[in-house]
């Protein structure tokens, strides 16, 4: 089993280097190296899953020893890690497989696969490390890989901007984790996540300190998992290749925030931080689901829905149900990967058209993709018997049972709205008449092996997972799972969803004219603008960083540096010149004047010597 751990830790990075080097020699090799590495990683995860006995895999290394401080680096694999490993490596493998065709025409493939493998390495590192420091290393690796992959098509200004934005937004959160690490190292003496939970259970940590640390860690999670207010990067991250969006910005990296909160769950529960988590997440869920209603681009709709569903998982954690949060994380990862890859297939078929309003009627040309997309959509919407239904139901029920009014309302709205936006998207892409003849006339056929197979596997999984829901819950929390009971919730949810579904179908299939009429109303347009721009949070953050940070603070610093600090330095030259001119006045040519100056000089020297000798 230790071999499997070693493979997991090393193979991605070796594979990454190999994919680049071999790919530079012969292009197809890059894909094959990545595919094989992905398969090996998934197999290693399965081996760990199968061979896992009751005790967690646990070993420590001393990484850095400086002064009297030791910075450890430990490996800790328990059930939670194994679930994350299976999700990350499994979806990673399918994603690489799918990329064979999707990225097949790209001239720069070695770079692509090298970065993807590096990303998977970061994700693995995050979920198997024991210390917050090690987790931070993996966390930042993923941030780097995400940055490089979003700006993969760096020659497009939009992609370059999106990458920069993603890095800076997530980095802003990460800084808080760095501060949290320092606080933990100094005031608690350990960053060991398992031990922190034990200390919290025993109540041996100062509560204020624990609250600050928990909030700092959550700040990092906000950045990485696209919560309010640091979410706009996630939408712009859709500039990257769709396979990247599927893996990183849909299924794995964005889950890391949820993972870290789940990993420190007892620590969070010990403080009031979970309350903050629940409320921020409920707000984000609402923002994400409402904004998803009005987006035009396929991927942006999916991105806002990702944000909304991550928030739903966070709400599960926030109201105190670890099982609900992780269960939704797993289900969401599967169906969101499915949806993104299916969207990738659509985009591939339609020659990189991303605007859903330009598509339409694709069910005739790509029936299988339509079916897989529909399965993913049903799971996302939370329709039984798809897996999404169970976890969403569990989160909403937990929120009703334990959450406050704000959390309850917003998470329910978010859960209900998901059927609206995903139905709308599916109708826009697959039903109706083709709205753009150019695209409709020249569609490509998706290949069975490379494109349909991963979709079929994921579609099957999203159904099959619903059989294992109880097993997953049991696997994570053991026997101490408290199931929330809310009378009539399921009936209420399903009826409301059905009504919403009918409204959306009616509007988009039969009542487009009515829809246009509603949309042209002034008030509706204002609302539409606000939702379409993601509540203007991006505009606000951009305004702050541009006008306050760069053009006020940095500019003031520059002004101060040029006109005060450096001016004084240069003024010494002027001072020297004036001194020279002053003493030049003494060059009169008369003996008497020279004599007088000499006497003055001697007097000054004598006084100076007296002062120095007596004074010091």
Q: Which residues bind another protein (CB under 8 A)?
A: 63-69, 71, 133, 136-137, 140-141, 143-144, 147-148, 151, 154-157, 159-161, 163-164, 167-168, 171-172, 174-176, 178-179, 181-183, 185-187, 549-550, 553-555, 557-558, 561, 565-567, 569-571, 573-574, 577, 616
Contacts of 297 (CB under 8 A, 6+ apart): 238, 354, 355, 356
565 vs 606, which CB is nearer to another protein? 565
Task: Compute the distance between CA of residue 40 and CA of residue 34 in angstroms, rounded to an integer.
Answer: 10
Which two structure tokens, joined as six digits, stand for 99? 């990329």
Contact status, residue 86 vs residue 45, Cβ threshold 8 Å: yes
- Min dist. Cβ of residue 139 to another protein (A): 8
Report, in Å, the least distance between residue 9 CB and another protein: 12
Q: For residues 385-399, b (16+ Cβ closer than 10 Å) or e, as one string?
A: ebbbbbbbbbbbbbb
Q: Work out how close the CB of 546 gets to another protein at its nearest, in angstroms, rounded to a whole number.
A: 11
Instruction: Please identify, using beta-carbon distances, which residue of 112 and 421 lies nearer to another protein.
Output: 112
Q: How far is the CB of 215 from another protein (least distance, A)?
A: 13
Exposure string for 406-436, b = 16+ CB within 10 A, e = fewer: ebbebbbbbbbbbbbbbbbbbbbbbebebee
Task: For 195-225, give one letter per residue: b (16+ CB within 10 A) or e.
Answer: bbbebbeeeebeeeebbbbbbbbbbbbbbbb
Paired tokens of 595: 């004599």
Least CB distance from residue 61 to another protein, whole Å?
Answer: 11
Residue 545 burial class via C-beta count within 10 angstroms: exposed 0-12, middle 13-18, buried 19 and up: middle
Contact 280, 288 (CB under 8 A): no
CB of 544 vs another protein, minimal distance in Å:
13
Nearer to another protein among residue 188 and residue 366 (C-beta):
188
Give the integer Cα–Cα distance in Å for 475 and 481.
10
Nearest to another protein of 95, 140 (CB atom): 140
Looking at the Cβ atoms of 90 and 240, the one nearer to another protein is 240
Nearer to another protein, 135 or 338 (CB): 135
Please say which residue, 515 or 548, places its beta carbon nearer to another protein. 548
Contact 22, 33 (CB under 8 A): yes
Nearer to another protein (CB atom), residue 90 or residue 223: 223
d(CA 522, CA 107): 47
Comparing CA positions, the residue from 40, 56, 38, 53 lying closest to residue 7 is 40
CB of 173 to another protein, least distance (A): 10
For residue 124, the minimal CB distance to another protein (Å) is 14
Min. distance of Cβ 89 from another protein in angstroms? Answer: 21
**Local structure of residue 507 (DSSP, 8 states):** I
Instruction: Indicate the SS3 state at residue 64.
Output: strand
Report the residue number, 3 or 208, with the smaller CB distance to another protein. Answer: 208
Q: How far is the CB of 207 from another protein (least distance, A)?
A: 15
Based on CB atoms, which residue is closest to another protein, 553 or 603? 553
């Amino acid at each position: 089993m230790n071999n499997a751990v070693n493979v997991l830790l090393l193979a991605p990075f070796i594979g990454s280097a190999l994919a680049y080097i071999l790919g530079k020699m012969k292009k197809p090799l890059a894909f094959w190296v990545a595919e094989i590495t992905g398969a090996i990683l998934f197999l290693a995860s399965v081996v760990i899953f199968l061979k896992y006995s009751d005790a967690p895999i646990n070993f420590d290394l001393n990484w850095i020893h400086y002064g009297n401080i030791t910075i450890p680096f430990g490996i800790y694999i328990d059930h939670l890690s194994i679930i994350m490993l299976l999700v990350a490596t499994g979806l990673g493998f399918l994603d690489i497989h799918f990329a064979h065709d999707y990225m097949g025409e790209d001239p720069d493939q070695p770079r692509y696969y090298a970065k993807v493998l590096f990303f998977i390495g970061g994700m693995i590192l995050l979920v198997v490390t024991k210390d917050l420091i090690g987790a931070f290393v993996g966390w930042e690796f993923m941030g780097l890989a995400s940055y490089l992959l979003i700006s993969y098509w760096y020659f497009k200004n939009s992609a370059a901007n999106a990458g920069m934005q993603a890095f800076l937004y997530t980095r802003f959160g990460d800084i808080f984790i760095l501060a949290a690490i320092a606080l933990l190292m100094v005031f608690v003496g350990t960053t060991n996540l398992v031990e922190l939970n034990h200390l919290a259970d025993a109540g041996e940590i100062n509560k204020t300190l624990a609250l600050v640390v928990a909030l700092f860690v959550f700040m990092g999670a906000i950045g990485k998992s696209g919560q309010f207010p640091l979410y706009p990067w996630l939408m712009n991250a859709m500039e990257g290749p769709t396979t990247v969006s599927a893996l990183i910005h849909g299924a794995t990296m964005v889950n890391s925030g949820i993972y870290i909160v789940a990993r420190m769950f007892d620590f969070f529960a010990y403080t009031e931080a979970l309350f903050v988590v629940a409320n921020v997440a409920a707000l984000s869920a609402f923002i994400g689901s409402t904004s998803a209603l009005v987006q035009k681009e396929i991927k942006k709709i999916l991105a806002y829905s990702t944000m909304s569903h991550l928030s739903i998982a966070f709400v599960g954690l926030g109201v105190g149900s670890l099982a609900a949060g992780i269960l939704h994380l797993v289900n969401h990862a599967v169906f969101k990967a499915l949806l993104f890859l299916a969207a990738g297939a659509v985009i591939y078929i339609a020659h990189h058209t991303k605007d859903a309003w330009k598509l339409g009627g694709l069910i005739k040309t790509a029936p299988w993709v339509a079916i897989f997309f529909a399965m993913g959509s049903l799971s996302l919407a939370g329709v039984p018997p798809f897996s999404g239904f169970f976890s969403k139901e569990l989160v909403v029920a937990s929120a009703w049972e334990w959450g406050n009014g704000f959390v309850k309302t917003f998470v329910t709205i978010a859960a209900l709205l998901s059927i609206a936006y995903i139905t709308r998207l599916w109708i826009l892409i697959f039903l109706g008449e083709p709205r753009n003849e150019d695209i409709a006339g020249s569609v490509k056929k998706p290949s069975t092996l490379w494109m349909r197979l991963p979709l079929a596997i994921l579609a099957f999984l999203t159904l099959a997972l619903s059989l294992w829901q109880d097993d997953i819950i049991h696997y994570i929390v053991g026997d101490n799972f408290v199931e929330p009971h809310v009378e009539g919730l399921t009936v209420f949810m399903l009826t409301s969803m059905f009504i919403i579904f009918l409204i959306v179908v009616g509007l988009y299939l039969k009542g487009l004219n009515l829809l246009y009429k509603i949309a042209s109303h002034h008030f509706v347009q204002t609302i539409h603008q606000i939702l379409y721009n993601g509540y203007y949070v991006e505009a606000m953050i951009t305004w702050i960083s541009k006008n306050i940070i760069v053009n006020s603070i940095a500019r003031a610093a520059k002004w101060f540096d040029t006109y005060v600090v450096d001016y004084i330095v240069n003024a010494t030259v002027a001072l020297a010149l004036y001194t020279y001119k002053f003493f030049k006045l003494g060059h009169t040519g008369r003996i008497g004047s020279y004599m007088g100056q000499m006497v003055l000089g001697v007097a000054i020297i004598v006084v100076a010597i007296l002062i120095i000798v007596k004074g010091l």
